[in-house]
Structure 1
C-alpha cells in the first residue's frame, strides 16, 4: 500500500509558524511524514526541531541534506538529536543537490557527488551506532571519536536522493530508501531498473529500499490557476538551475521542451518559457488542476509498481491558503 507524505514548501514562508501550521494540518489529515527539503531558505534542522515539538505522531525528516555544507559527522549528530527530540519519528535524506546550489550558495566545488554521498551514508551510520568512528575513504578520513550522548534507541533510516541512473543505483546499493523527483511515470519505471541493479550489487532485496516519489501538486477550483503555478515552478527549475533538471527531462523524452524553456529563460523571456510547457508535461510530472483531476493524477503515481510513498510537494509561487487547500484536497483522510 502506498502512503502519502508531504514536502513542506521549499519557497520561504513569512514565518516558521506558517511552515509548522502546514505540518500540523498534514498530521491532522493523515499524511505519514512531513519532509523538508533544504535549499537556501531556513535551515532544515531548526525547522524540523520546531515541527517535532509542535506535533505528536507525524514522521519528520529532511528529504535532502546536501553532502557538502556540513561534515558527515555533524549530519550524524543532527540525526541523533532530532531522533531523540521527535521520540523516534525522524528519517534522514541525503544527496549531492546540484552545482548551482553547492557552488553558487555554499561556495564548494561540486566534486565527486556520488562518492561523497556513499561516504556520508557510511559515516552517518557509524556515528549513529554509538561506536567509535574509524573511517578511511576516498573523500573522508576520520576516527577516534564517538557520540558523547547515547545513540538513538530507534535506528535512523538513511535515504539517498537522486535523479540519474548512477545515483539511483547508489541508493539501491547503500541506502535505506530512495527519494525520487521530477520523474514521469515512465521515468520512474526506468529508474526502478537502476534501483534493482544497485540492490543486486549490494546483495539486498530491492523491496527493502523504500521509494518516495515527490510530485508537484497544485489544487484549486480554478484549475488554470493551479496549472499556471505548476508551469512557473517547472520553468524556474529548468531555466534557472543549470543543466541538472534539464538533463532529467531530456532523459525522459522531453529534451526539446527542456531546451526551449532554458533558452527562453536565459534570454529573459519568462512568458515564452511558460508557454513552452505543455499540458502533457504538467500531467506527466504532477497532480495539478481541480480537486477531482488532481486526485485522479496522484492515484496514477501511487499505482506505479515499487513506489512506497508519494510526497505532495508544492509550486514555489503558491500562497499559504493555496498550500492548505492542496493539502486538504489530496489528504489521505478526506
Structure 2
C-alpha cells in the first residue's frame, strides 16, 4: 500500500479521547488523518490536536466549505495549521451543500463551481505570501496579506464529484477529494481528474452482520445521495435508474420508504462491510483502481471504534 488515511474524529467519540489512537496510527501503517465538517466537530481543531499527538502523519481537511468562512479567514487558518503541524497540512476545500451553507449558516449558496474556483485562486496567492487585491467573479478581496505566510507551499485539494470540478482540480489544484463512490467507479473519476492526487473517503462498516450493515448503509445513502450534487454524481456514474425509486419516495416525503428502496447492490458498492480482513481488502481495491489516498470512515457497529481503526490498519 501507499497512503492509507482515516477520518477523525470518530462518530460519538470525544475529540480529546483520540490522543492515544493518533499516537499509534503511524506505527499501525496509517499515513494520513483527514477531518470532516458537517454538524459535529469543525474541520480544523481536531487536526491541530492531531498535529501535537503525532509527528509523521499528514493532516487534511475533507473538506472546509468555501462559503462558511471568508477567504482571508480560510487563508489564516490554513497557514496556522501548516505551522503547528510542521508543514504536514493539506487544505481540502469544497462547496459543501445548500443545507449546510444556506440553512445552517445563512449564506447564499450561489455558483458553487465558480466560488470554489475563485477561493482556490485566492488561497494560492495568499498562502504564497503575496498581497492580494483582486476582483474575482464571485467576490473581491482588497489589500490582504498574511502576517505569517507558510514557510512551505500548502497543497490545496478540491472536493470534486463530476467532470467540471474534477477537471478544475486537475488543472489548478493539487488533486481532488471524492466521496460516496464504489471501487469500480474510480477509473471514470480518475480519467476526468487527470494529473494530481485522488483521495477518496471510503465508508467502512466492519461487521459480519450483512443485514445490519446494509440497513445502516441504506439510511446513509438515502440521506446523502438525495442531495442534488450527489444525485447528479450517481446519475453520471450510471446509478440513476437503480436509485430512481429512492428519489421518488424521498421527494414524496417518505424518508423511511426511500431508505428501504436502496438496492442491496448499491449498498454493497458504496459501503465496505464484512470482517476486518475483507474490509481491508476491499479498501485496497480502491487503491488498485487508481485512488492515491483511500480515507476510511468507520461506521458505528456497536464495537469499540478505536479498536476497529486499529484492526483496519494496513499493517494489522
Judge conservation of contact 1:2–1:310 (CA < 8 Å) in 2: no
Cα distance, 1:163–1:140 mapped onto 2, change above 3 Å? same
Spell out the pairing of 1:190-201 with structure 2 (5 A cutoff). Answer: 190-196=188-194
Q: CA deviation at 1:264?
A: 3.4
CA gap of 1:320–1:38, structure 2 versus 1, over 3 A, is farther
Alignment of 1:63-212 (within 5 A): 63-149=62-148, 151-196=149-194, 206=195, 209-212=196-199
Cα displacement (A) at 1:172: 0.7
Is 2:295 aligned against 1:308?
no
CA distance in structure 2 between the partners assigned to 1:75 and 1:267 by the alignment: 38
The yes-or-no answer on 1:288 pairing with 2:273 is yes
- Contact persistence 2:298–2:309 (CA under 8 A): no
2:191 & 2:206 partners in 1: Cα distance? 32
Alpha-carbon shift at residue 96 of structure 1 (Å): 0.4
Q: Is the 8 A contact 2:214 2:268 kept in 1?
A: no
Q: Deviations over 1:178-202 (max 9, x none)?
A: 1011123343222222213xxxxxx
Q: Could you tell me which residue of structure 2 aligns to residue 202 of structure 1?
A: none
Give the CA deviation at 1:212: 0.6
- Tell me which residue corresponds to 1:328: 310
Q: Distance in 2 between matches of 1:105 and 1:131?
A: 33
- The equivalent residue for 1:41 is 40
Q: Once superposed, which parts of structure 1, at least 4 consecutive aligned residues long, lie more than 6 Å away?
A: none
**8 A contact 1:219–1:329 mirrored in 2:** no
Indicate the residue corresponding to 1:256 in structure 2.
Answer: 241
Could you tell me which residue of structure 2 aligns to residue 203 of structure 1?
none
Instruction: Give the Cα–Cα distance (whole angstroms) in 1 for the partners of residues 113 and 144 of structure 2.
Output: 25
Aligned counterparts of 1:25 and 1:43: Cα–Cα separation in 2: 23
CA contact (8 A) 1:218 1:227 kept: no
- Contact 1:10/1:38 (8 A) holds in 2: no
Distance 1:279 1:297 in 2: 17
CA shift in 2, pair 1:9/1:49, >3 Å: closer
Q: TM-score, structure 1 length as denominator?
A: 0.86
Distance change >3 Å, CA 31–CA 73, structure 1 → 2: same
Deviation at 1:14, TM superposition (A): 4.8
CA RMSD of aligned residues (A): 2.3
SS across alignment from 1:154: coil
Q: How far apart are the structure 2 equivalents of 1:177 and 1:122?
A: 14
Cα distance, 1:156 vs. partner?
0.8
SS at match of 2:89: coil
Displacement after TM superposition at 1:97 (Å): 0.9
Is contact 1:91-1:158 (8 Å) kept? yes
Secondary structure of 2:100 counterpart: helix
Shift of 1:18: 3.5
Relative to structure 1, the CA distance from residue 22 to residue 281 in structure 2 (aligned partners, 3 Å threshold; closer, same or farther) is farther
Aligned ranges 1:266-281 → 2 under 5 Å: 269-281=254-266
Query: Matches of 1:185 and 1:110 in 2, distance apart?
Result: 31
Segments of structure 1 that go 5 or more residues without pairing to the other structure are 197-205
- Asked whether the 8 Å contact 1:283–1:297 carries over to 2, the reply is no
- Count matched residues: 316
Q: Is the 8 A contact 2:36 2:42 kept in 1?
A: no
TM score, norm. by length of structure 2: 0.90
Q: Any gaps of 5 or more consecutive residues in structure 2?
A: none
Relative to structure 1, is the Cα distance of residues 146 and 97 closer, same or farther in structure 2, using a 3 angstrom cutoff? same
Q: Distance in 1 between matches of 2:21 and 2:59?
A: 13
In 2, Cα distance between equivalents of 1:236 and 1:63:
19
Match of 1:8?
8
